[in-house]
Structure 1
Amino acid sequence: MSTDTVRASAPRDPQEPREAARRRHEQRGWYVYDWACSVYSTSVLTVFLGPYLTEVAKAAADADGHVHPLGIPVRAGSYFAYAVSLSVVVSVLVMPLAAAAADRTGRKKPLLGAAAYVGAGATAAMFFVADGRYLLGGLLLIVANVALAVSMVLYNAYLPQIAEPEERDAVSSRGWAFGYAAGALVLVANLALYLGHDRFGLSEGTAVRICLASAGLWWGAFTLVPLRRLRDRGGPAAAGPGQGHGWRQLAATVRDMRRHPHTLAFLLAYLVYNDGVQTVITQASVYGSQELGLGQSTLIVAVLLVQVLAVAGALALGRLARDHGAKRVILGSLVAWTVTIGAGYFLPAGAPVWFFVLAAGIGLVLGGTQALSRSLFSHLVPPGKEAEYFSAYEISDRGMAWLGPLIFGLTYQLTGSYRDAIGSLVAFFVIGFALLARVPVRRAVRAAGNPVPDRI
């Protein structure tokens, strides 16, 4: 009797189709959380809040151009950057508390809901940031950023539970694609309101405040979908006695990671190349405006182009990973990043078309690099420790977020050239490639106690 005949005649678990249907039901709900919260990152953080909060702070500044939060003199033009930095510090303190609670109790969904609605509420309340209320704006920014960071730890920790090993690359890629699609859609609507505020009888400031508040309403409304569809599960860590709390649990996680050196090796590679990715995202507009002399409208169109093409890029790289494995596709994307940023060094000034070409190149590899990194890491996490490991993943990511901008800033300070500054970021992708290429991912998956997919 042939092997195929034996396989065909083997009894089939009648629960398998039902469980697969429930898993797909959860996956569709999981995608919607990216659709819900990514609008905050795009419209609020990337486009509207920074310039608006800076203007609010300048309106409240003294004759020397300083505001005084808690009695500390701060130049108004730096207020937004300092608020973002403080939010990173607070996030690093809060994320391990939420992750420990999630793994200890096995109840990620209530914590995800709480974080999401705190963030959505703080974002919607940004409508009231006006008339010199820079302190309120800074506080709401910190609360929203921390809430987003906590919710993403919990959101990412669902991936190993709702997707089988062979489907995680595709599921993670669809999640990122949903997020970029929502970001583009709402940004188009917000820009229509902002650019046409006179026709709507609104001042420019009121239009911006409506755009900020709408992101919070969007975040809160669509969060209802994943909260209805996702299920809480118990697990080894949830049932285990002696589970630590907060930073003690994070320390225990780091000690546990030392038993999985290949997981740590992947995390190190990810931190290096992802810091390059994040720095390109935050500094590309500076390069475009200061070095290439491009206007605000050109930069906004470039942001939209990145958002739209990131949807296609995330889905396309997800399909490539199905045939060639996530590690190979990530390595290929890092080569593409290196070529794109290297080409960006030679862009002519005052030529928006070539800047759009650069934005298109970034968009095509952006979503896929992030999505496949998340799915690959999910294979390296021991079962039952999803939240705490993804907490370390997020904390390490944010903890390294200063290095890329520092290199960018130091290069500009030493050379006086933004071209040299943007070119310096190539090193992050080259070093990240070298580190990732050395990680034996199949051995790492087995060491973590997980099944090894056919392609990884």
Structure 2
Amino acid sequence: MRDLEKFEMHANSLCFVFMKTKKRVQNAWAMYDWANSAYNLVITSTVFPAYYVAVTGGEGAPKVSFFGWHVTNSTLLEYSLALAYFIIALLSPILSAIADVRGNKKSYMKFYCYLGALACMTLFFFKPANIELGIIASMIAAIGYCGSLVFYNAYLPEIALKEEQDKLSAKGFTYGYIGSVLLQLICFVFLFSDFADGTFAARLSFLLVGVWWLGFAQIAFYYLPGKAGNTVHQQSGSIWTRGFSELGKVWQQVKQMPVLKWYLIAFFFYSMGVQTVMLAATIFGSKEVKKYVDGQWVNLDAKDLIPAILIIQLVAIPGAILMASLAKRLGNIKVLLAVVVFWIGICIAAYFTYTNIQFYVLAVCVGLVMGGIQSLSRSTYSKLLPAGTSDTTSFFSLYDVMEKMSIVLGMFSFALVEHIFESMRYSILALILFFILGMSVLCFVLKVQRRPGL
């Protein structure tokens, strides 16, 4: 009897240690969102786009020279982002295969993290006279950010049970919003400081993003587990083509699962809209939205745009939590469908947005659904993976490629329409079409899905 009691006490002790370790790993995973979301907010969404527009002209549709190519300033930035995401979409399958075979997924996550962080630091040297440096460094930073997320997302089904994944995914985004807002507030203080060099405050913000990203990422790198190599995959094929081969195999599996297949297609279409809005919002605000100052309407600057983006980030925290809660009650697909309809309304409102007050109201609406749709999309995909899937990296590589290609096509379409009509408002109409396509496919998914909880 005593032996049985000792065994039970030992088992309970091991269970406690396991749960404590698991919690620590999950928190560390979420901390990577805290680290890298500083890039997403400062470089992608606020300071860098506003700074770029300001130093390249701002008013009307100014042209810039990029290695001799003369193009509208905002169009150049949009094209460069589309190219950066196209590169990462091509690289992701290759590097996912290498990490899977060699068992060093964490190493590649580190590589991309360091690449992106150092590129952000390089932006400190971006001034009006060297536009090429700014564009190239921003592209490399985007590649680093997206590349690390391939491996970061692949950890989700490995460190959390299916019933935990919605909550943990939302927790990651919540950590990201809190961390990025804290750094943004620090940058905000610099922007309001009186420096002799008018560009110094913005460039210092870029430097701080790299330091923040690099520093806090160490928490995740310390606690996240490694992954053993897949010896089956090591038996055949070149490592440089294996990634695409694995994507082909994964897609063949996906084709046999109607819900997952159609969900990915829906995700592809509505992501074209969501991701483009997130990447182009600040550029749109800088060029298309005005404020009334001293009897005249003038363009918004970084000091006007940062509060709008902060509103989005702060509202996004309860928004992500609310969507996770609604998904638990109503099902993931129904909630995603409702949110996509809401996004269509946002795009229509954006087309008619001309003043800073309207822009701030629009920011509240975007915040309510921005983080939630990303978090819920990721966890829905994770839930739809076949039971007992061990090669999560390949499945999430497919997910990541779909997302990145949606950004490529979304940003390219947005830039092309602006290039033709020299107005972002017509580009917004194209985004509405993408959301309608995503909504239509989600309606079909709702008909064919039978899994409880979805």
TM interval, shorter chain, is 0.7 to 0.9
User: Counterpart in 2 of 1:44?
Assistant: 43
Greater mean alpha carbon deviation, residues 181-190 or residues 435-444: 435-444
The question of whether the paired residues in 2 share the 8 Å contact of 1:271 and 1:400 is answered with: yes
Offset, 1:76: 7.8
State the Cα deviation string for residues 91-137 of structure 1 (Å, max 9, x = none): 12321222112222332112212221222122223223347344443
Which amino acid counterpart does residue 215 of structure 1 have in structure 2? V
CA distance in 1, matches of 2:419, 2:53: 23
Which amino acid counterpart does residue 184 of structure 1 have in structure 2? V
Change (3 A) 1:244 1:167: farther
Offset, 1:34: 0.6
Which amino acid counterpart does residue 391 of structure 2 have in structure 1? K
Q: Secondary structure at the match of 1:218?
A: helix
Which amino acid counterpart does residue 218 of structure 1 have in structure 2? W
CA distance in 2, matches of 1:278, 1:435: 18
Q: Does 1:227 align with 2:221?
A: yes
Q: Secondary structure at the match of 2:235?
A: coil
CA distance in 2, matches of 1:55, 1:24: 45
Which amino acid counterpart does residue 377 of structure 1 have in structure 2? Y
Q: Does 1:357 align with 2:353?
A: no
RMSD after superposition: 3.2
CA distance in 2, matches of 1:49, 1:368: 24
State the Cα deviation string for residues 144-180 of structure 1 (Å, max 9, x = none): 2212121000000000001100010111011111112
User: Counterpart in 2 of 1:174?
Assistant: 171
With CA pairs under 8 Å and 6+ residues apart, which has the higher RCO, 1 or 2?
2
Aligned partner (choices 375, 381, 385) of residue 385 of structure 2: 381
CA distance in 2, matches of 1:82, 1:340: 24
Aligned partner (choices 85, 89, 92) of residue 82 of structure 2: 85
CA distance in 1, matches of 2:86, 2:172: 27
Greater mean alpha carbon deviation, residues 155-164 or residues 395-404: 395-404
Gaps of 5+ in 2: 1-7, 58-62, 292-299
Q: Secondary structure at the match of 2:445?
A: coil
Greater mean alpha carbon deviation, residues 410-419 or residues 182-191: 410-419
The question of whether the paired residues in 2 share the 8 Å contact of 1:287 and 1:422 is answered with: no
User: Counterpart in 1 of 2:4?
Assistant: none
Matches within 5 A, 1:135-214: 135-196=132-193, 198=194, 201-214=195-208
CA distance in 2, matches of 1:41, 1:279: 13
The question of whether the paired residues in 2 share the 8 Å contact of 1:237 and 1:385 is answered with: no
Greater mean alpha carbon deviation, residues 295-304 or residues 273-282: 295-304
The question of whether the paired residues in 1 share the 8 Å contact of 2:285 and 2:305 is answered with: yes
State the Cα deviation string for residues 191-230 of structure 1 (Å, max 9, x = none): 220122x1xx442212122110000000011011001111
Q: Does 1:24 align with 2:23?
A: yes
Q: Secondary structure at the match of 2:226?
A: coil
Offset, 1:42: 1.1
Offset, 1:368: 0.6
Which amino acid counterpart does residue 106 of structure 1 have in structure 2? G
Q: Does 1:398 align with 2:398?
A: no
The question of whether the paired residues in 1 share the 8 Å contact of 2:413 and 2:427 is answered with: yes
Which amino acid counterpart does residue 230 of structure 1 have in structure 2? L
CA distance in 1, matches of 2:52, 2:447: 44
Identity %: 28
User: Counterpart in 1 of 2:210?
Assistant: 216
Change (3 A) 1:252 1:66: same
Change (3 A) 1:55 1:283: closer
Change (3 A) 1:222 1:416: closer
CA distance in 2, matches of 1:16, 1:443: 36
Greater mean alpha carbon deviation, residues 229-238 or residues 363-372: 229-238
The question of whether the paired residues in 2 share the 8 Å contact of 1:56 and 1:134 is answered with: no
The question of whether the paired residues in 1 share the 8 Å contact of 2:119 and 2:137 is answered with: yes
CA distance in 2, matches of 1:79, 1:94: 23
The question of whether the paired residues in 2 share the 8 Å contact of 1:166 and 1:455 is answered with: no
Matches within 5 A, 1:244-393: 245-261=239-255, 262=258, 263-294=260-291, 295-296=300-301, 297-347=303-353, 349-350=354-355, 352-382=356-386, 383-393=389-399
What's the TM-score, normalizing by structure 1? 0.83
Offset, 1:82: 4.4
Change (3 A) 1:151 1:431: same
Q: Does 1:111 align with 2:108?
A: yes
The question of whether the paired residues in 1 share the 8 Å contact of 2:270 and 2:435 is answered with: yes
The question of whether the paired residues in 2 share the 8 Å contact of 1:99 and 1:154 is answered with: yes
Q: Secondary structure at the match of 2:30?
A: helix
Which amino acid counterpart does residue 224 of structure 1 have in structure 2? Q
Change (3 A) 1:320 1:17: farther
Q: Secondary structure at the match of 1:455?
A: coil
Gaps of 5+ in 1: 1-9, 59-63, 445-451
The question of whether the paired residues in 2 share the 8 Å contact of 1:67 and 1:76 is answered with: no
Q: Secondary structure at the match of 1:180?
A: helix
State the Cα deviation string for residues 270-294 of structure 1 (Å, max 9, x = none): 0101111122223444554555434
The question of whether the paired residues in 2 share the 8 Å contact of 1:54 and 1:76 is answered with: no
Q: Secondary structure at the match of 1:401?
A: helix
The question of whether the paired residues in 1 share the 8 Å contact of 2:170 and 2:372 is answered with: yes
Q: Secondary structure at the match of 1:258?
A: helix
Change (3 A) 1:133 1:422: closer
User: Counterpart in 1 of 2:124?
Assistant: 127
